[in-house]
Amino acid sequence: MEPVTTAEQYAYALSAFDTARIYRNRGEPGVGLSLEELRRRTVVTFDNDEPNSWFAGYVRLRPDLTDLWPLPAGLTLTLDSASPFGDPYSEPDPDCTEGELDHMVSVLGPLALNASWDYGWRGLAESKDCGVQLCANSVWTRQIAEPSPGEFGVWVSLGARVAWTTEGENWLRDSGLLLGEPQQGW
């Protein structure tokens, strides 16, 4: 899941999540004031007693925090792990079912979700980087997905070693998929 960037996303997250992680990755104007407000409302617990220039903490999600959005640049809030979602640093779950993926997408609503399925395509030689990337409420830009509420996309990769070969081009033609222009990275 991607960071919660808008007040609408935060309000929606309250329906399915209890906690989140907050990260300060650089000093920007307004960061200190936002952190003090979170402390004042007693909803944040930091990993370290004395936060330094880069820190992380836990935030209890409550409806009265909606007025803090948008958070200042330099503060990032990501939803905490909750089954079956995992967290931003968890390993992919090879046993995740199609039903669980459908449930995740429906619960996320306007929140951004990037889900990847890595596997070799039937009928093509084994290669690296084959798979599908689903971006819900985000867009693919230069090898990363960026939040963009209301935007959806599915990216298909045949793998760098196969994509531009005759074999790959024939596979695409025969698949019947209507694809847009190739993107860097996918």
Complete DSSP assignment for 127-163: -TTEEEEEEEEEEEETTEEEEEEEEEEEEEEE-TTTT
Q: Where exactly are the structural domains of the chain? A: 7-79, 112-175
Digit-by-digit pLDDT tens for the chain (186 residues) are: 678 888 888 888 888 888 888 887 666 777 778 878 888 888 888 766 655 556 678 888 899 998 888 888 888 888 866 555 665 556 656 677 778 777 777 777 777 777 777 777 777 776 667 888 888 888 877 667 777 778 888 888 888 778 778 888 888 889 888 888 877 665
Contact at 8 Å (CB) between 20 and 111?
no
Enter the pTM of the model: 0.62
Do residues 84 and 104 lie in contact, with contact meaning Cβ atoms separated by under 8 Å?
yes
Q: Is 7-79 assigned to CATH 3.30.70?
A: yes
Contact present, 127 and 163 (Cβ < 8 Å): no
What is the C-alpha separation between 175 and 31, in angstroms, rounded? 50
